Structure formats: structure tokens, C-alpha cells
Structure 1
Amino acid sequence: MTTSTSRQNGNGRRGELRDFLRSRRARITPEDVGLPGGGRRRTPGLRREEVAVLAGVGSSWYMWLEQGRDIKVSEQVLDAIARALRMSEAERAHLYRLAGLNPPRSAPSGRPEITAELRRVLETWLPNPAYVLDRWWNVVAVNDAAEEVFSFSRAERNCLVAYFTAGPYRSRFRAWEQFAPTVVAQFRADAADHADDPRYAELVAELSGRSPEFAELWNRHDVLEDTAVTKVIDHPVVGCLTFEHSTLRLASRSDMRLILQSPQPGTDTAEKVGRLLARREARAHVRLAETG
């Protein structure tokens, strides 16, 4: 990028920042934030000086920020301004970007919530496998095809741990040695995004003690973002299955991801998965008959 283009982009962003702050200020009345109203106001909403007081920053500094001047800002000050202007999480993230900073990740709100809509997505993806992982790679939701193809264990629901330590799960991945470095590098990237979360260190310590292969790969310090890959599975019943693997981050929960597996065109994978689901349904009918 040339210097002139970079300057134009910076000026454009500062102009957006100016307009954004003005619009957020205009929608809030003094009474909304416990300030005395009264008096004639040339423009609706709060005055710049009032925002500065609420945010605990200097009036001149805030005026420079809203004017779009090229000044240095910190995360703490942006958070204070976001609180003063009663911004939503989306607005706060937008403020960060306009100020030239990476927005902080939203903290996950407790246990992963598997909504009815998300479960319908999993079921709609049938007869193809689909499942949901949380930020630590625990399987938190799965459809019938994924259970049949990957043999997710009720006792071992963490994909990373199972990939390195669970024999039935691990043995299904053809070219395991080829893809193991990719798996660990992707997990390291996730761990770096949540550096203050002790659960990652606990997982690494647990796996390093159980799997020398994981320990060796972890010590390489390789990092890799999510990539589209082809997975080849050796299933004990139907044989070779080949899937195109896609990862989708959930907009409503950035700490969860939806994993979709599509049978590779030109293979008999779709037909074989259909057979697995038919066997599953037949077993269910037998159990129903036995209990009925």
C-alpha cells in the first residue's frame, strides 16, 4: 500500500470516527445519564464537554478525537467513552476499529448455548455429518451422521484429546501423521486468542503428559488459522469416506464453531453414509420393539 493510499484510508477512518461519535452523542439526553437538562441546546443530545466528564477524559482531548484528529488512544479510554455513550458490544467493537485498534473479543457467557435454531441447522445438514465445538474443542452438539462417522465417545468429548489419545477415534483418520501438525497449530492459534484462559494450559499439560506426539508438536510453536481441508476416514463398517471439511464461526457466539462435512464429489461417500444412517435407524427400531 502506498503512503498516499494509507493516508487516505486513515483520513477516511477518522472521518467515520467523527461522524460515529457525533451520532452516538446526539441520541442521548442529559437526563438519560443523570445530568441536569435545561437551557437551550443548538444540537440534540449531549455536549462534548459532558461526554468528556462522563468518560473521565479531558474536554480538549475528546474534542480532538471527535474532530478526527490523528491522536493516540488507548483501550481504557475507548471503553470509558463507550460506557459514557451507552454503546452496545457491536458499537464498541466498531469504535475500536475506527480508532485503529483491534476490538477485544467478547467473553463467552457461561456454558455454550445450543439454541433450537442451531440444532435445526445440524439436522438440516443430514444426511451429512455436522457438529459444534466450543472454544476448547469440546463437542457440544452433534447430528446422527457425525456420531456414526466419527464415533464420538460419550466419555471423551474433546476432539483434540480424542485425536491424540482415543484409539477408535484416532484410528479412523487416514494420514493421521500428516494432519496432526495442522491440528496442533490450529489449537495454538485458538489458545493465543484467549491467552488469559487457564483451561488451555490445563489441556496442554494433560495432553503433553498423555501423548508424546502432542508434546513434540506443541513444542514446535507452529501456528495456523482454520483452513479448508479434505478428510479421509477409514470407517470399520463401510470403509473409506472422503469429506470436504468446512469450519464456520457462529456470529452469535464467537467462541463456538460449526463443523460441516460434505461428501467429496466423485466418491461413494454419500451412499455409504446413507447406509450408516439406515443401520442406525434399524437399531433404533429394534430397541423400540424390545422395550415396547
Structure 2
Amino acid sequence: MSTAGPLGEYLRARRELIGPGDVGLPAHGRRRVPGLRREEAALLAGISADYYLRLEQGRDRRPSTQVVEALARALRLDADAAAHLHGLARPVPARRAARPSERVPAGIRQLVGSWAETPAFVHGRHLDVLFANPAATALAPIFTAGVNLLRAVFLDPSVPALYPALTAVAANAVAGLRAQVGPEVNDPRLIELVEELTAGSERFRRLWARHDVKARAGGGVRVFQHPELGELALRYEKLAISGTTQSLVVYHAEPGSPSARSLARLARRAAPR
């Protein structure tokens, strides 16, 4: 961690992702670094350039709520990114109590296990798979209890063949990790994981430096290239499990679609005999 601290690092990363044209400013002269200049970001936020510099350098780490909201608007942050910025500016004091157990609640295990034809798994705070049903593991071996999804996406040489849109998968994984850990960037397990992935993957280094954030809950479409069944286009839903730092991920297909038929065949093969 640099002396700028989490807030300063985040402000700089997001500032460098925005060009003058993105915010209606003229681009005068050649720029040696990407993105907005600090004084431009300060102007857009309605604060002094000196105060903005202090925030980025970590010399002031507790801006007011009004300033944080102005910075979020100036940097064109979406709802997830703005919430993350507020968390960095107002971090919750470290608790002395131990972190919540990553044991999956019994009811969730029973529910996920009962979905014979619906791939589903639970992952924890650092994207470790904690529980998966047979359909999920049959869909993708990385959906197996004990596998860390970040390590799999960035370090497992078999994963690119699984995801035709690996670039988007990788970006979502990193942004998801940021959302899972929130402002607690001094988490020892997080530091260990980031150091390992930074050393082993240039793609991870680039994505981590962007400071993108994607909410714990959400959904979308994911395309898998299964070695036996070919391409499956599946919708996924990601749900936060109440009272835990865990997330439930469920995959399903459009009823009557080729992917739905392939998913049914996959489930039959995965069913215990």
C-alpha cells in the first residue's frame, strides 16, 4: 500500500480513466499521463486543487459526505463505485471480533443441493468456492469446493477454453473481489492473494490497478464452451447471503432453448448414481 492510502489510490485510478472529452472539457496540449489532470478533477468537484491534491496524496483522508458526493459526480462513478468511495472515506472501525465463519448455512446447502438441473455454488469473501452442487461442477470444474475463482481465472491454463469472453469474466472477477472486501484493503488474506496474482498475471495487474467495483448482487449472461456439449449461453444470478460475506451464484437457461436441453443432459450425467 502506498502512502496515499486506499482513498488516494482510488481517486487517482478513477481520475486516470476519464478523458477531458468525457466530461466536456477541452483537451489543451499534449498530456504526459492519461486521464484528467488533478486541477480538472478539482474543478469538476467544486473544490480547490490544493485540497484535491491532499486527498490523492493521503494527507487528508476524511472528506465530508458532500465532498465525496461531488467527487463521485466529477469522476462519473456509477452507484457501486460511488458506494465504494463512500466506504473508503468513512471506513468502519476494525472490529475485534473474529470474522464471520465461511461455513455455508445449512439451509443454503440443502437448497443448492436440491437443484439437480440448476448449476449453483456459494463463494466466500475472497472468492473461494465453499459449496457447489454436482451440476455446477459438471458445467465447469472450477466450480468445485476449495477452488479460488481468482486463481482459476488468472492462473489456470485450462480456463481460457471454458470462457469465450474471458476478458469480461476476468474484469468481473476482479471488480467482484473489490466489492466483496470493500474498504478493508489491509485484510491479510486479500494482501496475500493480490500479491500472488500480481506476480503471476499481467492481466490481473492491469485490472487491479483500475479499481473497478461490481456489486455483490447482480446478474447477466455468461457463455461457456463445454468440452462435450459445446456452447451454452446461460443467465446467472448472484445473490448476497444475508448475515454472511458469502454470495450464491445460480445459472439457468432460457426454457426450451438449446442451452436448456444441454443443461438437462449435463445434469443427468452429473446426478449421483
Among candidates 248, 269, 272, match of residue 259 of structure 2: 269
Moved >3 Å (runs of 4+)? 101-111, 153-156
Counterparts of 1:166 and 1:129 in 2: how far apart (Å)?
A: 21
Q: Residues 280 and 179 from structure 1, CA distance in 2 versus in 1: closer, same or farther, beyond 3 angstroms?
A: closer
Cα distance change on mapping 1:223 and 1:109 into 2, 3 Å: closer
Specify the code of the residue in structure 1 equivalent to 2:249.
I
Deviation at 1:145, TM superposition (A): 0.5
Larger fraction in helix: 1
What is the 5 A alignment of 1:22-101? none
Contact preservation (8 Å) 1:186, 1:223: yes
The C-alpha deviation readout for 1:65-89, integer Å capped at 9, x for no partner, is: xxxxxxxxxxxxxxxxxxxxxxxxx
Question: TM-score w.r.t. structure 1 length?
Answer: 0.56
The answer as to 2:114 corresponding to 1:124 is yes
Q: What are the equivalent positions in structure 2 for 1:166-181 lying under 5 Å apart? A: 166-181=156-171
Following the alignment from structure 1 to structure 2, what is the Cα–Cα distance between the partners of residues 149 and 114?
A: 21
What secondary structure does 1:233 align onto?
A: strand
Is residue 2:248 matched to residue 1:235? no
How far off its partner does 1:252 sit? 2.8
Deviation at 1:234, TM superposition (A): 0.4
Q: Distance in 2 between matches of 1:260 and 1:105?
A: 32
CA RMSD, 1 decimal:
2.6
The more displaced of 269-278 and 107-116 is: 107-116
Question: How far did residue 180 of structure 1 move?
Answer: 2.2
How many percent of aligned residue pairs carry the same amino acid?
Answer: 29
Aligned residue among 139, 159, 164 for 1:149: 139
Alignment match, 2:26: none
CA shift, 1:103, in A, is 7.3
Give the equivalent residue in structure 2 for 1:200: 190
Note if contact 1:189-1:225 (Cα within 8 Å) is conserved in structure 2: yes
| 1:52 equivalent in structure 2 | none
- Supply the distance in 2 between the matched residues of 1:198 and 1:208 (Cα, whole angstroms): 15
Partner of 1:212: 202
CA shift in 2, pair 1:122/1:153, >3 Å: closer
Give the AA of the match of 2:139. V
SS at match of 2:249: strand
Q: Tell me what 1:256 maps to.
A: 246
Q: Does the residue aligned with 2:210 lie in a helix, a strand or coil?
A: coil
Looking at both structures, which has the greater relative contact order when contacts are Cα pairs under 8 Å and sequence separation is at least 6? 2
**Does the 8 A contact of 1:123 with 1:143 survive in 2?**
yes
Q: Which moved more, 1:112-121 or 1:184-193?
A: 184-193
Shift of 1:269: 1.7
Residues in 2 aligned to 1:239 and 1:171: alpha-carbon distance in whole angstroms: 11
- Shift in Å at residue 109 of structure 1? 4.6
Structure ID, larger Rg: 1
Q: The residue matched to 1:259 in structure 2 has which SS?
A: strand
- Distance of aligned partners of 1:153 and 1:231 in 2 relative to their CA distance in 1, 3 Å threshold: closer
SS in 2 for 1:228: strand
What is the CA-CA distance between 1:245 and the residue it aligns to?
A: 1.1
Greater shift, 187-196 or 202-211, is seen at 187-196
Determine the C-alpha separation between the residues in 2 that align with 1:214 and 1:165.
Answer: 10
CA 1:115/1:225 → structure 2, altered by over 3 Å: closer, same or farther? Answer: closer
Per the TM alignment, residue 139 of structure 1 is displaced from its structure 2 partner at its CA by 0.2
Q: Is the 8 A contact 1:151 1:168 kept in 2?
A: no
Q: Aligned equivalents of 1:213 and 1:265: distance in 2?
A: 36
Gaps of 5+ in 2: 1-89
SS in 1 for 2:162: coil
Residue type of the alignment partner of 1:247: K
Query: 1:238 is matched by which residue type in structure 2?
Result: L
Q: Aligned letter for 1:233?
A: F
Shift of 1:108: 6.0
Deviation, 1:122, is 0.2
Q: TM (normalized to structure 2)? A: 0.59
Contact 1:162 1:170 in 2 (8 A): no
